[in-house]
Amino acid sequence: MTAVNKNSSNILLIYTGGTIGMLREKGSKSLKAFNFDQLLSKIPELKLLDHNIDTISFDKPMDSSDMGIKEYQQLAETIFHNYELYDGFVVLHGSDTMAYTASVLSFMLENLAKPIIFTGSQLPIGDLRTDAKENLITSIQIAGLKQNNKSVIREVGLYFEYKLYRGNRTSKINAEHFEAFDSPNYPPLTESGVHLKINENFILKIKRKKPLILHKELEDHLLLLKLFPGLSQDMFAHLLNIKDIKGIIIETFGSGNYKTEDWFINGLKSKIENEIPVVNITQCLGGQVQMGKYYNSEKLEQIGVISGNDITTEAAIAKMMFLLPKKLNYEVFKTIFETSIRGEITEEI
């Protein structure tokens, strides 16, 4: 762990919505988004940072529960079109689906060589005990970090409560605590204490700079199925036969196990034979799928189910949304999904 000195950077702050950008109106319990052009007046501490900060806001800031493909595209395009003008980007976002958006952006922006730091808060920025100021100030500081005139962080990150995680490794784990996020299968990239420390060994390595590529097309006709012991044959068949499903993600037990009954195996096999990708991820917060380790996952491996390894649910959805429009055949899709392309899975696990 080594400390890194800061240099002056140009930072674009993008407000999509969420608790962090709201103020409590006098005499009312309701929250209202404030004008981000007035950001410096609300957070005078930002003037102490040696960075130039510009702000931009969605026309209609939204609850993160309303985020979808249209908003992912808007956010990715905003960064893409401003990419050469800024050294780093900070995205203010509601915490509920922040891990999903961070994961999607990591796939949409290929050859990223600058930081995109997602952050938010559990309390509004005007509350006495708010976590918003620290999260925002440190996120901007991290986004502006340079060594030898190059950005230190060159990937999509998520900063919350003194830790920066790789965005596509995170999940929201708590709705009340300030430590709202965790990255169970990958260590933090930075830790904020008396000094801001960078875990250099775990930052995504960029071999050589290439032009940024925007992958705008996404597919949302997906089925995420959390398996449970009492799932009936009829309900399973009904879910698999939903019209226009393009891809299926199953959350299995432990290291990738579920029923060995014919109706379950044959149902998935029929989808695979029709070139519909089926991905197996674990319901456990930590650990990974290892199909074939136990008898109850051996048949899944035999019929061609794709291993999600230690990918999060959020990143699995994002990666499938990104890959499906590429119109890949099943084997190519399987190979790419089981390969880390944005640091989303641990290689050689």
Catalytic residues: 19
Identify the residue whose tokens are 């003194």.
162
Structure tokens at 178: 């300030």
Task: Give the integer Cα–Cα distance in Å for 196 and 184.
Answer: 21
Determine the Cα–Cα distance for residues 63 and 245; give it in Å rounded to an integer. Answer: 27
DSSP 171: E
**Cα 313 from chain centre:** 10
| 124 residue type, one letter | P
Closest CA to 165 of 108, 109, 115, 114: 115
DSSP 253-274: BTTTB----HHHHHHHHHHHHT
Q: Give yes or no for a contact between 204 and 343, defined as CB atoms under 8 angstroms apart.
A: yes
Decide if 135 contacts 143 (C-beta within 8 A): no
R_g of the chain computed on alpha carbons: 21
Q: How many helices (H) and strands (E) does the chain have?
A: 9, 21
CB 314 within 8 A of CB 171: yes
Give Cα separations from 262 to 95, 183, 233, 275, 292 (angstroms).
41, 36, 10, 20, 17
Strands 247-252, 222-226: parallel, antiparallel or unpaired by DSSP?
parallel
Separation between Cα atoms, residue 272 and residue 27, nearest integer Å: 58
Say which residue the tokens 């209202």 belong to.
32
CA distance 291 to 341: 21
